[in-house]
Amino acid sequence: MQLNILTLPGDGIGIEVTREAVRVLHRVCDKYKHTASLSEALLGGIAIHKTGGPFPAETEKRALEADATLMGAVGLPEFDNWPPEKRPERGLLGIRKSLGVFANLRPVRSYPALLDSSPLKNHLIDGVDLIIVRELNSGIYYGTPRGIEGEGKSARGFNTMSYTWDEIDRVTRMSFELARKRRKKLTSVDKSNVLETSQLWRCVVVEVAKDYPDVELDHLLVDNAAMQLVLNPKRFDVMVMENMFGDIISDEGAVLAGSIGMLPSASIGGKRPSGAWVGLYEPVHGSAPDIAGQNKANPLGAIGSVAAMLEYSFGLTEEAAAVNKAMETVLNSGRVTADLRPKGTPATTEEVGKAVCEAI
């Protein structure tokens, strides 16, 4: 198979983890006789430095042409005081929207070798295997009006959380389909005791559920969901929620996995102008400027995102399983990066990437 992939390493540790993810991709392609044709483009802070904006038109064009896009991370401290519309993060929001990838799948599982890497008690997390489906194209991240009006102490900042029926419907269906292939349990997370968007959310979910009688559905308020996720994470199979709730809850989920560096993600659901499906794959972690360029970052979130790409964009399930299995072999060997608090000397980003390749 010919795989045309665009990489967007972005900023900070995005660059080094993407390098390892690409190494693993080449190894899989070698082994299974696929041809990967990779090209790289700019997104985020590096794009601001080189082109003046976080999401250059050239990047958008090439992402729309590629079969799939692999992203690293965006964000640089020098832009911390810039307004949201100019920041590196806006590049990421831009590409998510432009590709139309409305469902962001963030799987969280506990690996036996990492039980002690999590601050939570082993018995709570042993066996955790859940997927957070985060709505990715709407909600408060994109709603208008938004802005800051007035100045100084009379200033007022405002954002809009909005959802249409269709936006909720499509991500809910995607989540039910996923649940159907797993343990057939879906938890919808909202704040319907306070927010109108959540009231509509719940109403649509209940309506869609009529088409999936074989899947057990429950609803949790987001504050309670945050608590249940650490009290009893094994109760969850698939969770679906709006954009910002998903952003927050997925970082909490990272604690179950041992480190946010472990979490991959797949953003799917979008279609190219030609009608072909398109996917965007990115680790859940950010650009971590504090450790950038030091060969310390955990590349497994990025490598897991390659596995997700092989599976969702190319249907290469055997290849995806080989990557996941190799990651587990490396975890069992104990040669892991500092975030996972290994007993001996921590491995470097590059060592972990190479070890995964060897295990494949």
Size (the chain), residues: 360
Q: Residue 218 to residues 108, 205, 280, 293: CA-CA distances in angstroms?
A: 19, 10, 29, 44
89 or 190: whose CB is closer to ligand IPM? Answer: 89
Cα 66 to Cα 39: distance, rounded to the nearest angstrom: 9
- Out of 11, 67, 111, 141, which one is annotated catalytic? 141
State yes or no: residue 304 binds ligand IPM (CB under 6 A): no
| Total of chain residues touching ligand IPM, rule CB under 6 A | 7
Is 67 annotated in the active site?
no
281 an active-site residue?
no
Residue 242 binds Mg ion, judged by CB under 5 A: no
Positions in 6-45 near ligand IPM (CB under 6 A): none
For the CB of residue 248, give the shortest distance to Mg ion in the complex, in Å: 8
Cβ count near 231 (within 10 Å): 11
Candidates 89, 167, 319, 339; binder of ligand IPM (CB under 6 A) is 89
191 noted as active-site residue: yes
Residue 105's beta-bridge partner residues? 133, 266
- Using DSSP, state whether 52 is helix, strand or coil: coil
Query: Would you say 267 and 95 are in contact if contact means Cβ atoms under 8 Å apart?
Result: no
Count other C-beta atoms under 10 Å from residue 4's C-beta. Answer: 14
State yes or no: is 290 an active-site residue: no
Determine whether 111 is an active site residue: no
Using the rule CB under 6 A, is 100 a contact of ligand IPM?
no
* Residue among 257, 250, 265 nearest 307 (CA): 265
Q: Report what 75 binds from Mg ion, ligand IPM, none; CB cut-off 5-8 Å by kind.
A: ligand IPM
- Candidates 163, 191, 237, 296; catalytic one: 191
- Per partner kind, with CB cut-offs from 5 to 8 A, the member of Mg ion, ligand IPM, none near residue 89 is ligand IPM
b/e per residue, 44-70, with b = 16+ CB within 10 A?
Answer: bbbbbeeeebbbbeebbebbbebbbbb
Q: What does DSSP say about strands 103-109 and 266-271: parallel, antiparallel, or unpaired? A: antiparallel
Minimum distance from residue 81 beta carbon to Mg ion (Å):
20
The first and second tokens of residue 112, run together, are: 């036996």
CB of 285 or CB of 296, closer to ligand IPM: 285
Between CA 257 and CA 268, with CA 262 as vertex, the angle to 5 degrees is: 105
Q: Is 353 in the site for ligand IPM (CB under 6 A)?
A: no
Minimum CB–partner distance for residue 127 and ligand IPM (Å): 25
Question: What gap in Å lies between CA 77 and CA 69, rounded to an integer?
Answer: 25
Site for ligand IPM in 227-286 (CB under 6 A): 247, 284, 286
User: Could you tell me how many residues of this chain bind Mg ion (CB under 5 A)?
Assistant: 1
Name which of 132 and 174 has its Cβ closer to Mg ion: 132
Cα–Cα distances (Å) from 74 to 12, 246, 248, 360, in that order, read 7, 18, 17, 29
Q: Please report how close the Cβ of residue 249 comes to Mg ion at its closest, in angstroms.
A: 10
Rounded least distance, CB 36 to ligand IPM, Å: 25
The catalytic residue positions are 141, 191, 223, 247, 251
Binding residues for ligand IPM (CB under 6 A): 74-75, 89, 92, 247, 284, 286
Binding residues for Mg ion (CB under 5 A): 247
